[in-house]
Amino acid sequence: MKAAHAAREHAYAPYSRIRVGASVLMRDQSGRDGPLCAGCNVENASFGATMCAERSAIFSAVAAGGQIIRMLALTLDTGEEEEALSRRSPCGLCRQVISEFANDATAIVIDAGSRNAIEFTGEVMGIADLLPWGFCLPPE
């Protein structure tokens, strides 16, 4: 969560004014943990060119050899303390990308926006909680 908070400080969010940070720890093909990778949201006047923090972190981890998400941490700064989960959870695109690299053991940790760095407030969930009917291709 500390890495997600640090990444959030670099977010570029002139349109939504919501700075988001994410960090992810992924395992490689042999089951070894890769590096902790972080990302932040980078908005663009052409909204389709915006990159969310979650995808930024995951894509960096994949580039470093990651294949399975062990843990994904998310935090945002909306200016509201204890923002509702529906306002803090990943967008649909990010949920689908997360599901591509998640398994039943993946932990998704979403900070409630508390400014208290000592005590965690928020949710810990799995991919089935985040995306109960996620799209996947049939097995070959």
The 10 Å CB-count burial string (b at 16+, else e) for 113-122 is beeeeeeeeb
Amino acid at residue number 136: C
Instruction: Spot the catalytic one: 54, 81, 83, 100.
Output: 54
Q: Are 134 and 90 in contact (CB under 8 A)?
A: no
The question of whether 82 is a catalytic residue gets the answer no
* Residues noted as catalytic: 54
